[in-house]
Structure 1
């Protein structure tokens, strides 16, 4: 028997449809305005440079996030860490900070005496492409740590315990049991982290500025074109960014559904 729609249900649907309409109109404005300039943008050396730089820096920063983030998440979830609550707070604090503040932190750090020493050794970050990777890494590392920590805490530790009783070391258990069980969570986290890195701008702007054909990522290209009054090229660059982010979101959704269907199948008798 069908239930009659309540006033609360109707109000919720109305608000949801209004929100969808607003978002569709906002994104549609960019798409309609930028499509006539998209072909020109895809032939532009500057836009192609920004695409390549965005893809390269986002991929590298995502890899670095997981190289650092997985051990940090494992330490928080499985190790007897002193002052765990404080450590968790420090590691996840950047999630609540504005990206401009994170960029300012990096700028001050690499402008200090230690930063100048690193520059003398050839590690140049400020106003350099390497700084884009650093900014993306700082913005996304707490996101990766939280996602991976949650995935590790939700795992059933009995399999690792049994492997330990059979003589497997911590490292062997981590490589043969923990990581394979977290595979789908890692893939989803990687896709979302990469998408966030592609669109990162605030911390990057503070650390490396915006220099054409040097530190010009896709968000920086949009900023430069808007600041010079070239709205058409700005909207065309925005369409490219929308396609990249939308593709990442679609892959993440498909992977999540696949994971959910596998878990459903495993629970069936």
Structure 2
């Protein structure tokens, strides 16, 4: 038996390290080296000036601007993405195929082009009328939220639709046959089943909002201490030759991204995993005990 077990282990190791697996590992190593070198370059260039950057009024302003606008746009994105994804995946919505193509097209467009489209809209007579009544967007902080929305909303809808597609439709069918309305099914079945996917959508949308720059640059520009976000602060620092501050600001974004990943992983952890595992182990022990008793 021991000899057979050793042979199986040897065959398993051989299968794990065949030619194709070795090639895949080498390619993964090159990819990790490429990505890791970029992160190390940011850390190496920014760590010496990190304290100076984090105490700078301008950097702190850009940090607050990024956090506030990303949080607002994320809440709006998720609030709009949930009913939109439901309409596209669970209803006989008119022109559904046109809407799907429009979403896909928006995802593939450059962000600077989306920002330019918003600039045309809010520079039109309608946009000027909105400005006259106090709702200014172009070259204003409000425009940052709109720029993040136009970039992230199709992405959020795509993620939520994918989550809805993974739900067993039989559960919804049974609930409706028992008298539940569409709203009840959405609230009591779809949302709980999509909990982890919705958390991922929320976190990733927020992170993308923090890093958005192309559409923001086109719609509101980068005005110091007014429409300056963290990416805009990096852009201004590089434009003025202050590469040390730019790297330190980039390090702040890197830390925020790492913290976002940690929060996402914690929130996405399935509830009761340890209890389930423990239950399985206890069940296994009880089964072995019972078997031993019967054999005795």
TM-based fold match above 0.5: yes
1:256 deviation in Å? 4.7
Distance 1:39 1:226, change over 3 A: same
Task: Give CA deviations for 1:46-105 in whole Å, capped at 9, x if unaligned.
Answer: 111111110000000000101111111000110012232211111232110110111001
Q: Secondary structure at the match of 1:211?
A: coil
Matched, 1:132 2:144: yes
The number of residues matched between the two structures is 266
Distance of 1:22 and 1:91 partners within structure 2: 32
Question: Which of 208, 226, 246 does residue 234 from structure 1 map onto?
Answer: 246
Tell me, which stretches of 5 or more residues in structure 1 are unaligned? none
* Mapped partners of 2:20, 2:196: distance in 1: 36
Q: Is residue 165 from structure 1 mapped to residue 200 from structure 2 by the alignment?
A: no
Greater alpha carbon shift after TM alignment, 177-186 vs 102-111: 177-186
Shift in Å, 1:249? 2.4
Which residue number corresponds to residue 3 of structure 1? 14
Q: What TM-score do you get using the length of structure 2 for normalisation? A: 0.84
Map 1:147-162 onto structure 2 (within 5 A): 147-162=159-174
Residue pairs, 1:18-167, within 5 angstroms: 18-167=30-179
Q: Does 1:198 align with 2:207?
A: no
Q: What are structure 2's unaligned runs of at least 5 residues?
A: 1-10, 284-296
**Residue by residue, what CA displacement relative to the aligned partner does 1:144-170 show, whole Å, maximum 9, x if unpaired?**
101111111111122222222222221
Q: Which residue of 1 aligns with 2:237?
A: 225
Question: What's the CA shift for 1:9?
Answer: 2.1
**Of 164-173 and 211-220, the range deviating more from structure 2:** 164-173
> d(CA) in 2 for partners of 1:122 and 1:133?
16
Structure 2 counterpart SS, 1:123:
coil
Q: Secondary structure at the match of 1:3?
A: helix
Once the two structures are TM-superposed, the CA of residue 250 in structure 1 deviates from its matched residue by 3.0
24-33 or 103-112, which deviates more = 24-33
**Cα offsets for 1:197-217 (capped at 9, x unmatched):** 000000000000000000000
* Two-structure CA RMSD over aligned residues (Å): 2.0
Question: In 2, are the aligned partners of 1:61 and 1:133 still within 8 Å (CA)?
Answer: yes
Asked which structure has the greater CA Rg, the reply is: 2
Q: Answer yes or no: is the 8 Å Cα contact 2:199–2:268 preserved in 1.
A: no
TM-score by length of structure 1 reads 0.93
Contact 2:144 2:227 in 1 (8 A): yes
**Aligned twin of 2:288:** none
Separation of aligned partners in 1, 2:233 and 2:21: 43
By how many angstroms is 1:252 displaced?
3.0
